[in-house]
Amino acid sequence: MTRLADLATVVRSKNAGALNFTLDIMFADAATFERVRDAGVLDAARIADLYGVSHNAVAVIPYDAAWAIKITIPRPVPAGDPSDSDVYGAQQHAPLLDLEIPE
């Protein structure tokens, strides 16, 4: 199996408002995008387990025209809260990097 980090051109996270993060995964070609999209690895249940949130709060949105997948999850605390450790949401993509993608 191959790690997501080895297949994606970009894996990043950022704020999606004060209450959510967005995780963006982009690919260099349609074949790689389709492989990952169709593998069933990036589903709401898996993302919820990785981030400790309810699967009902996770949105996984493949965007075929851009060879990209956008995932939205709730932040554990609002952006800027005194206990917020990542005010910009720029370090939240790390749990995705080692996900194994089947052939």
Domain extent for 26: 2-74
Instruction: Judge whether 29 lies within some domain.
Output: yes
**Lowest mean pLDDT segment, chosen from 40-44, 68-72, 87-91, 99-103:** 87-91
- pLDDT, tens digit (0-9, with 9 covering 90-100), for 47-64: 999 999 999 999 999 999
Instruction: Judge whether 43 lies within some domain.
Output: yes
CATH label of the domain that carries residue 54:
3.30.70
Instruction: Judge whether 96 lies within some domain.
Output: no
pTM over 0.85: yes
For the segment 15-31, the average pLDDT, to the nearest whole number, is 96
Residues 70, 23 contacting (CB under 8 angstroms): yes
For the segment 8-30, the average pLDDT, to the nearest whole number, is 96
Instruction: Judge whether 91 lies within some domain.
Output: no
Instruction: Judge whether 19 lies within some domain.
Output: yes
Give me the number of domains the chain comprises.
1
Instruction: Judge whether 92 lies within some domain.
Output: no
Confidence of residue 16 (pLDDT cuts 50, 70, 90): very high
Instruction: Burial-class residue 51 by CB neighbours within 10 Å (0-12, 13-18, 19+).
Output: buried
Residues 63, 22 contacting (CB under 8 angstroms): no
